[in-house]
């Protein structure tokens, strides 16, 4: 198995403690939208940091587009959980900082024009010259998204990007991220612990057991149609089947997962197809 992104047997341990996870394999095709669900502390963020190049695996490797990654890259943009905007820069300044990192030879006018396109795309037109402290939580996260999009990465890595937002803002931003990412054909790896968010956004939902010694228990292949809308997704006959399957996993199986006979290289793919009555 060698997808666009191929995680090959990675492990991460700190000192001599038991590993957070080991022998972890996962393959993703170009254009996949993958969500990872698991309880806090299972190592989701560590996997994402390794994919981003911010952390290195103790064993194994990650292959992206045929090359082993050795550090952070402009091809892999990260949307951080706590937005991570530079508070001394304006909205435009934050996005332009990313653009000028990608295109070092561009003039200021070119950089600003390019940044403006992505500020418009996330709906922040008119707030270009505000500083992060003047923005609401949802607007800050939009700036983070615009910054990640502006470098036009092949891969978007998102670490619970909407967890700090209120439900309404979260819904709007989910719509926008889905629209933008499916439009650009970007490969997305996203961490969440919101089951509904995962079902709405992802093509594949990876279920991770509790750490230490966390494993990828199974991959849920999302049976809902690609053109689903957030407003009526819960009326789809398969919706609650998928949802209950994932919630069952989080409530019981994530804690007492039986690893005998579990092959970490061939994580079972499950496609819940029975409708609830």
Partner 1 sequence: MTASLPWRAALVSVLIFVALVLAWHAATRGTGSVQQMSPEYAKLMGLTATQGKSAMPGPLEIGAKLWEHVRNPFYDNGPNDKGIGIQIAYSVGRVLIGYGLAVLVAVPVGFLIGMSPLMNRALDPYIQILKPISPLAWMPLALYTIKDSSLSAIFVIFIGSLWPTMINTSFGVAQVRKEWLNVARTLEVGTFRRAFTIILPAAAPTILTGMRISIGIAWLVIVAAEMLVGGTGIGYFVWNEWNNLSIINVIVAIVAIGVGGMVLDLILARLTRLVTFPE
Query: In which region does residue 43 sit, left (phi positive, over 0), alpha (psi from -120 to 50) or beta (all else)?
Result: left
Closer by beta carbon to partner 1, 18 or else 74: 74
Closer by beta carbon to partner 1, 104 or else 226: 104
173: which strand partners? none
Q: Is 76 in the site for partner 1 (CB under 8 A)?
A: yes
What character string, x for contact with partner 1 (CB under 8 A) and - otherwise, covers 23-62? -----------------------------xxx--------
Among 77, 139, 215, 219, binds partner 1 (CB under 8 A): 77
Q: Please, are residues 89 and 167 in contact by the beta-carbon 8 Å criterion?
A: no
Among 48, 98, 119, 198, binds partner 1 (CB under 8 A): 98
Closer by beta carbon to partner 1, 19 or else 153: 153
CA angle 224, 27, 14 (to 5 degrees): 115
Least distance from partner 1 to the Cβ atom of residue 213, Å: 26
CA distance 192 to 37: 6
Q: Is 101 in the site for partner 1 (CB under 8 A)?
A: yes
Closer by beta carbon to partner 1, 53 or else 137: 53
End-to-end Cα distance, the chain: 38
Q: Is 129 in the site for partner 1 (CB under 8 A)?
A: no
Neighbours of 247 (CB within 10 A): 13
Q: Is 78 in the site for partner 1 (CB under 8 A)?
A: yes
Least distance from partner 1 to the Cβ atom of residue 101, Å: 4
Among 30, 88, 126, 234, binds partner 1 (CB under 8 A): 88
Q: Is 151 in the site for partner 1 (CB under 8 A)?
A: yes
The site for partner 1 (CB under 8 A) is made up of: 52-54, 71-74, 76-78, 80, 82, 84, 86-88, 97-98, 101-102, 131-133, 151
């Amino acid at each position: 198995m060698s997808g666009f992104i191929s995680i090959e047997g990675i492990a991460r341990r700190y000192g001599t403690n038991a590993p957070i996870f080991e022998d972890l394999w996962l393959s993703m095709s170009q254009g996949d939208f993958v969500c990872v669900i698991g309880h806090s502390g299972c190592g989701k963020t560590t996997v994402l940091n390794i994919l981003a190049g911010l952390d290195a695996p103790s064993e194994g490797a990650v292959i992206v587009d045929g090359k082993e990654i050795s550090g952070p890259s402009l091809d892999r943009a990260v949307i951080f959980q706590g937005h991570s905007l530079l508070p001394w820069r304006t909205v435009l300044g934050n996005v332009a900082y990313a653009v000028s990192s990608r295109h070092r030879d561009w003039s200021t006018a070119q950089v600003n024009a390019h940044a403006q396109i992505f500020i418009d795309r996330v709906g922040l037109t008119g707030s270009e010259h505000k500083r992060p402290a003047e923005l609401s939580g949802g607007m800050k996260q939009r700036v983070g998204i615009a910054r990640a999009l502006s470098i036009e990465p092949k891969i978007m890595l998102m670490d619970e990007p909407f967890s700090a937002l209120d439900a309404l803002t979260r819904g709007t931003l989910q719509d926008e991220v889905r629209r933008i990412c499916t439009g650009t054909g970007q490969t997305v790896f996203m961490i969440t612990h919101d089951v509904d968010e995962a079902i709405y956004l992802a093509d594949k939902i990876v279920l991770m057991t509790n750490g230490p010694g966390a494993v990828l228990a199974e991959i849920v292949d999302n049976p809902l149609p690609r053109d689903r809308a957030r407003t009526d997704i819960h009326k789809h006959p398969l919706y609650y089947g998928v949802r209950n399957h994932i919630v069952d996993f989080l409530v019981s199986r994530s804690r007492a997962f039986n690893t005998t006979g579990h092959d970490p290289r061939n994580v079972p793919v499950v496609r819940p197809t029975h409708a609830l009555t």
